[in-house]
Amino acid sequence: METIRGDYIMKLFTVGPTQMRKEILDVRHQQVPYFRTTEFSEVMLDSDKLLKKFMNAPESYKSIYLTASGTGALEATIMNCMNETDHVLVINGGTFGQRFVDLCELHEIPHTVIKLEEGEALTAKHFAAVEEQSFTFVIANIDETSTAQLYDINLLSSFAKKKQAYLVIDAISSFLIDHYDMAGNNIDVTILSSQKGLCIAPGISPIVISDRLYEERVKNNHIKNLYFDFNQYIKNFTRGQTPFTPAVGVCLEMNKALHLIEEEGFENYLARIDSVAKDFRNRIKELPVSLPAFSISNAVTPIRFEQPIAKDVFTILKDKYDIFVNPTGGVNEDYVLRVAHIGDTTIEDNKMLVETMKSVIKEITGK
């Protein structure tokens, strides 16, 4: 489905913000209501119930709804759960893994890093290399959005369990896209953000924490920060409220999005995204591009061009056709683009995009 913005039509194949469904846009165009009411509290509690259902988190797990970007949620998690006595293992496979490293350094949390090189998959050998060390936390972005690598949750969960460490997962671009089981994989923190898997506007970052982590760390942790104090959020959410003004409109979008998934059927919803992702990956065999060897999320496909034309393809798609894909920074900026399959995208959209990319590549290369 196309989205009208002013006097032109925009199509997003981006991993966040995504192409939003008409039903979400209809919510977005309504008057934002006053929120210190029983009615708004009921909406938030209803959303929380569905969110936990889809991630298989017990209702007793504590929820925090931050009005912040995903990075705010990452930092708040480190501030509320960790301290200078910890030893954290961080999986760094790209931009967002590096962000966890940066936050640990900023907050002076002792840490060891598993650094993945370009195109390298996370495997058991990486954990064997740090086997002799003790850890209190294991942190990973389950889908490293900058590369689209989807890590093996069983590897992470097994290692954390062996070390009796808490497992912290940034699932921002994987939850509601790939299968995710918080309780089944002994995950202690799940970090989300509205503009990716939830496929709504930016502004809200939910965090769900296990009973174990809450009782052993968060409950009696009095951080020197007003806005990011988890205990204040947990206390207020017993009545479906937040301690500070939330992004009210985005909260209403979230409730609508979760109910749309419930109406479609969660497994049907995931299967639809899977089919769109597989269809795109099959179609690009017609293009002069390749895919990485590691496992990738259904959220996004990273395509590597044979020639250094990625930036040119991105620019022409944007400027000439009002089609947006994700560019890639750093050493890959001239070679790699990322195409998302979430939000309001279909197999028909895949056909259109691939045909347009053929024309753009011919315009650039002459063939």
Both structure tokens of 189? 């923190």
- In whole angstroms, what is the distance from residue 9 CA to residue 11 CA? 7
**Residue 341: partners with Cβ closer than 8 Å, 6 or more residues away:** 13, 273, 276, 277, 280, 298, 299, 300, 301
CA distance 63 to 322: 38
- Find the largest Cα–Cα distance for the chain: 65
Cα distance between residue 300 and residue 307, in whole Å? 21
β-strand 88-92 against 137-141: which pairing, if any? Answer: parallel
Question: What SS3 class is residue 336?
Answer: strand
Alpha-carbon gap, residue 146 to 300, rounded angstroms: 10
Q: Residue 111: which H helix or E strand, with range?
A: strand 111-115
For residues 43 and 34, the answer to whether their CB atoms sit within 8 Å is no
Beginning with the edge strand found earlier in the chain, give each strand of the sheet holding 189-191 in spatial order. Answer: 62-66, 205-209, 189-191, 166-170, 137-141, 88-92, 111-115
CB under 8 Å to 56, separation ≥6 — which residues? 180, 181, 182, 183, 184
Give whole-number Cα distances, 249 to 35, 194, 335, in Å: 10, 12, 38
Tokens of 170: 């940034």
Say if residue 338 carries a ligand binding annotation.
yes
Distance CA 30, CA 110 (A): 47
Within 8 A by CB and 6+ apart from 137, the residues are 81, 82, 86, 87, 88, 89, 165, 166, 167, 168
Binding-site annotation: residue ranges for substrate: 338
Binding-site annotation: residue ranges: 338
